[in-house]
Amino acid sequence: MSRMMLADFDRDVGCCSCLGFLRMAGREMDSFTGEHPDFLLDEGYRKRTVFPAKDRAICRDKPVKETAHLTRSEDSDGYKMVNEYVRQGTIGRGSYGKVVLYQSINDGMQYAIKAFYKSRLSKVRVSSSETAMTDVHREVSIMKLLEHPNIINLVEVIDDPESDHFYMVLEYVEGKWICDASGACGGIGEYTARRYLRDIIAGLIYLHAHDIVHGDIKPENLLVTRNGTVKIGDFSVSQAFEDGNDELWRSPGTPVFTAPECCIGLSYHGKVADVWALGVTLYCMILGYCPFIGDSLQDTYDKIVDTPLYIPEEVDPELKDLLQGLLSKDPSQRLTLESAAKHPWVIREGGPIPIGSCRCKSESTGKDYTSAGAKNDNCT
């Protein structure tokens, strides 16, 4: 295997050794080789249209700072600087850019900054009418609307029209992924998995109430703070909708977390697909591996659609019931987030997930939105 192929393979191995087979957003689905279940061939999946959201709900106590001037320099010790931020080191790399740790000389706080080259992203086609830069702008526009204790916060956007550089300044979580294979059976144990799941559900309920589909829920995008709070990150393939119309045609982010209805190239409901990914994530947290992994991308899709869900006999009966509900192959029978939040296994320790009402003002019309999610002091 060549060095480049090895690098690609390492990048594609997700948390808990789950093979991610990462793809660029917008790549067309491979044709499905197996026999289609009847519910996946419903004509409704073929004819529905996704409408862009025109009336976005703003749910922030403090707006995202927007900076149109960029100064790249060095501090007295020779460390590179971007405006007020001093470079500390690289955190990671993605399909479109890299994430770098910086420290602000103004407040002393550390931030994770996603750095992009606009010219490069503008040349990458993700669909017939959109480029990778379109995805970045969409990610920014979505994150500008949101503020929640279980969602990574966007602090600042640096976009100098005279520069090819584009920066997203994000809250830095000095923690870990939710899945570190430290518990029984290679997972993290039921107690920790339950605590993490409650936070993820709270964040997803909040997103869905604001007509936002995450599109790439997986352990790698779920970070744990030092105090044990889970925060949802990476909105690079997320979508915002209006009037509850959450249908999508573009393929989701990571195939092993892809719902069956997404695997055959037809339209699907994004919120229901998020629930499936939540189920795969819970399965991974409990058992340390994903439920459906094939030898290739197409084989993975085939297994997701055709292979029955396997849950070991020793798994707690209530947990088994929850996993079966979240991982129902028929999206119409899949457990809803609201039902999952009230499931006996979820509320066994800690009681019901706290739900707070959020009165949001529309950016364009001032229309009120009421949304559910974990209680957020910024949303009253």
DSSP 317-367: HHHHHHHHHHT-SSGGGSPPHHHHHT-HHHHTTT-SPP---EEEEETTT--
For residues 298 and 49, which has the higher predicted lDDT (pLDDT)? 298
Q: Range with the lowest mean pLDDT among 9-23, 85-99, 186-200, 276-290?
A: 9-23
Q: Which residues are annotated as a binding site?
A: 114
298 pLDDT exceeds 70?
yes
User: CATH code for 176-371?
Assistant: 1.10.510.10
206 pLDDT exceeds 70?
yes
Beta-carbon contacts of residue 18 (< 8 Å; ≥ 6 apart): 218, 219, 256, 284, 289, 290, 293
28 pLDDT exceeds 50?
no
> Does residue 216 have an active-site annotation?
yes
Q: What percent of the chain has pLDDT over 90?
A: 60
pLDDT for 319: 98
In the chain, ranges of CATH 3.30.200.20 domains: 58-171
pLDDT for 367: 46
Q: The whole model's pTM is what?
A: 0.80
- pLDDT one-digit tens code per residue, 313-372: 999 999 999 999 999 999 999 999 999 999 999 999 888 888 665 656 444 444 444 444
Q: What is the mean pLDDT of residues 201-220?
A: 94
Among the listed residues 135, 159, 211, 216, the single catalytic one is 216
User: CATH code for 58-171?
Assistant: 3.30.200.20
In the chain, ranges of CATH 1.10.510.10 domains: 176-371
| Closest CA relative to residue 172, chosen from 80, 82, 109 | 109
CB of 328 closer than 8 Å to CB of 309: no
Report the mean per-residue pLDDT for the chain: 80
Q: Which residues are annotated as a binding site for ATP?
A: 114
pLDDT class of 186 with cuts at 50, 70, 90: low
Q: What is the mean pLDDT of residues 252-258?
A: 85
Q: Return the DSSP state at 19.
A: B
